[in-house]
Structure 1
Amino acid sequence: MADSNVEDKSRLSKNLLQMKFMRRSVIRIEKEQNEEEQRRVIDDEHWVLDIPELQEKESRYQLEPSYAPCENLVFGRMSFKGLNPEIEKLMTVQEVEESLKISEAKEKELMVDEDEMTKRYETLIGTIAKKFAKKRHRSAVNSEVSEGSSNPKKAKREFLKPGD
């Protein structure tokens, strides 16, 4: 209510607006109102096309900003035999970093996980037991190892007595 009273007081009366010297302001006010109405209409009826978005086609070509990858160049700028010592220092630093990355990758490849280590250890125990067993006990060790392993060895042939 307070806002409407303030607006009413700020508006000029009809009689005052009809006077000659006030006609310009009346035209200006009407013009502003018409522009506001047009903006509302445009915002309400905003033009939208119901066309699906265009998808970019995949290119057969790969764009590179430099020719270094095309020529398989490691360094963009090179120096030899102390011609440019700053660049040579950068080259050595980059070579060291790359060699570290390569060595870490090889180390990860060659690393043995716990399960594989236990399997290797189990087979190692059987092999060493066979080596140090005496001839009498070798058959017993072989049978123990064959029970533990997945590939059982054939039983040793023994002499059978003929039946009566």
Structure 2
Amino acid sequence: MSSERNKVKLSKSILDMKFMKRTKEKVLKEEDDAQSRAMYSNEITEKMLKSESYYIIEPSYVPCEDLNDGRFSFRGMNPDIERILELEEQAKQATIDQNVKKDVTDEDMTAYYGNVKKTIERKFQSKTHRRTVTLPEPKFKKPRLDDV
């Protein structure tokens, strides 16, 4: 309170001068804040004044849309920039590849691919040969413990 009393206030005519616009805005904002604090002093708690914001305010939508920014080069016009962009893309892909977990193991994939290959081979065989070839009965595959 004593610091507010000792503070020198500028006159209205000085604040109206052209070069004092920023100071005038700052003074008006301080006065409004002081009035609002005085008006709602019994309703606003200390916890409300010192609370943190849980929101991130982003002035641009570029990171939200995952857009590229900066310089670009097309069809070899600037090979240095093309190389830099290529390296950045490789680094981004490397981080994505590390985060991706396989849903199907390599063994399961080779077993499936083998069945598909046999099916396609049968399609291109003659009808007489197709009748003689029999497919093995599909067996029930027991689920692994880590799948559950």
Normalising by structure 2, report the TM-score.
0.30
Normalising by structure 1, report the TM-score.
0.27
Rg larger in 1 or in 2? 1
